[in-house]
A and B are shown apart, each in its own frame.
Chain A
Amino acid sequence: TALLPIHTWNLPGSSMLNLWMPMTVTYIHLLLLLLDPSSALMSTQDPPPSLGNHSMDKNDVDEAEGHFTVPIAFRVFSVDYHHVQAPFEIVLWIMLASLAKLGFHWSGRIPAVVPESCLLIMVGLLVGGVIYGVRHTAPPVLSAEAFFLYLLPPIVLDAGYFLPGRLFFENLGTILWYAVLGTLWNVLGIGLSLYGLCQLGGWGLEEVSLLHFLLFGSLIAAVDPVAVLSVFEEIHVNEQLHILVFGESLLNDAVTVVLYKLFESFLRMPSVSGVDVLAGGCQFVVVGLGGLCVGLFFGLVAALTTRFTARAQVIAPLFVFLYSYLSYLTSEMLHFSGIMAIVTCAVTMKQYVEANVSEKSNTTIKYFLKMWSSVSETLIFIFLGVSTIQDVHMWSWPFVSSTLFLCLLWRALGVLLLTAVVNKLRRNAVTFRDQFIIAYGGLRGAICFSLVFLIEDFPKKRLFITTTIVVILFTVFVQGMTIKPLVELLDVKRKKRVLPTVSEEVHCRLLDHLLSGIEDVVGYWGQHYWKDKFEHFNTKYLKRFLIREDKQPKSSIVRLYQELERREQMGETDEGKRERSPAM
């Protein structure tokens, strides 16, 4: 059955019983309704040709009908499923995902060892297996459109809104270095070496062109923000390491988008000239900067709009979500990097929105963002599991294993080389342990999965799909599960869990001003110089323009002091402080 075997572990009796009932009801519902093939969230528009049996669909519809009527003339009671089908099924999937997630946290020691993403994929595999067993056809596949348009934006928005701004900008150079050069290195490395191996290997893949391998390389090389987020959230490494890996996964979207589209269009063209490659290079700049500008624009407009929401406070959070989503969609429309746009939008508008809207609205924004991103993430992983169960896998031991090996190899080499160069320019060198975690934390996820389905059909496409799935499952399961013990084994620096004291804040601020001053004396345009220049510009122009007069923000020292006083008044001890500070 599709019921999770959670009930076999020892749990507080009554509470588990309460959880049992809705779960059972939901699963039975889901099973019954999944007998009906047409589903809104699944790929009805863009199915890979070998997946989904179209001829069978019609028969199913005729059979299942969906109308259960009492056989008398006057219908007192009837069930009209088709009327509510689409939203009903969407809600049921979300319900399944959320209840599964609830279930894990009750299941004792498992969540401590296995990251949530793995458990969710396993649930997905289970559900997919059940569907396959019941219907004897492939279960529905996560449609690329649903993923890119509905499931990905909330996660990226949440990530961008809670991005530690200062740390991000301090490390921006390094992050860009890894994101741009690292991704390029990986793509070319994997693509070219796979091509070389296939030409020599005699695995029956000689006729696949170099461009196909490069295309494959471009989608499999990129680190996935969703996977990184879900795994790194649980291991609590030091903030600098976290921002390096996470920032890289966000910013490499621009490179991935460009390379993928580039190789795809090259595949369609009869011949490729040097000019085309050059144009591709320029396109990268356009895509990246374009996304940035779109995000900036919408961020500033959102900030300005919230200035006027004093009289309609309830809808203030809505503007945050609408403008962010709009920036994503606009960017996608113009073929810019949607992720960069939405992250830029969130980072830009955050300080002004926080100052302009009421406390309650701020809390609402926070909670809604967390909730949506959580739901999205859960759904993505479950669908990854479900979509793995298909009858179209093409397996090839040498190809799959060499792809896996090359992915790991190129990533490790890339990180080593790039760090060696960048350490000379950084104030704070990236240690070998951190480098190892950066290389090991290069997880792949649903973005590669969706991209591989979008490739135009060619003879070996199924092989690529299978390989991509294997790589994703390997990185999420093997790397995801072992990274926590490795972090502990290698004694990687962990995150400080307590709030800073007021003294630290005051003295650090003093040091900031001191360093800016010294940089001015020396005439060195360093980080402090630019930070100060921006702060000055911000205070003089932006804040005046974008924030209401009476809400001009106070210094961070004052805010920290007020926060600490508030917590002490509420009677929280040091223990309480430590529990509350992570995540939220």
Chain B
Amino acid sequence: MQISPHFNKIVESLMVEGKFGVCNGITRVNDVKSGSSTLRKSPSGDRFKIYIPYAGQTITWEVILDNSCPEEPPDFIFEDSDFCPNVADIKSLVNWDIGDPHCLTKVIRELLEHYKTFHERLLEAHSRLQFEYSSLLDQTELSRDLIEVYSERTEKKIGPINFLIKLPVDFSDIPPYLTKDNPGENSAVLLILFPSPDSSRVTPQLYLSPRVEHAFGGSGNLRIPAFPSGGCLLDYVPDVYKLLQNKVEKTVQIYERRKELMAAFLSHFGRSVLEFDADGFFDISFLFEWNDFFFILYIELAPSFPQEAPVLTFQSIYHESKEKPYSEVHDKYPYSPRWSGPEMATRIKTYILDNIQAFQKQSVMSGSL
């Protein structure tokens, strides 16, 4: 079923601009139906569900408009029946103007604010949770707009309770991530689950935006500590924040070192380059000629570079060994992580020149032509 043309603009605005909350997640629209009982030829969808990411959950609200009276403000069905905000408090609903393409987006934004307050109030009945929440607000740098809480409730009990916290890490120097899909803003978000108000088995999960994850070398590459039993968010969250900030600084530093070394190699040998990693600067290879003897040199940097020396692999283009081109790996040679990129490049060049004759000899003897 398609949305009625009366509401196209406001729904589109919601889908495009409706990025709410800590995660800035997009709002999805689905399950479009018509309130009208007669079959019509033209699209007449005037009720639909919206799915909004909030505090690690997806909340589903149903929006009910009326195709026959499009100027009328919408009704809502909230899946959480305890949430009943007073319509008079929702200013953008009171001032509903169908002519404004953003009117629905504004209402949803306001409703979400109320929803957030609703969940914050739910914590007040549980002293431990209330303490966790208010201590974060009062005693850390976190502000209210960086935290979302959600409590799952059944008749008998409350739980699990989610705390979604956006960590204000400075990602501005993170290396670029070139992809045609917009990788979005950089962020790190911590989702902490309390199974019940007084449980000690608290589980944290860290979510990184694509560019940050890419810079860290993949999702597996950052381990956060387990939540200590008897611990509290007031201590734990700043610890994770510091861990992340350190990781960012370190990542940026070693990225710059790789880039510097790569630039030095290119400035020495750019005219014989075969390929190089233009994203993370982890490897570069050259075709060299020495005394009419051509050979390939692969230079590979480990994630731990500059602590670990670059690995050099010489490869023959004439001789094979065991059905593959004859090659030699050299990873132990005079090296210091304190050398600058240009110095490293110069010394590696010297090392290559010192060893090329032996390599040539070995490849001739070990390999077949």
Same complex for A and B? Answer no
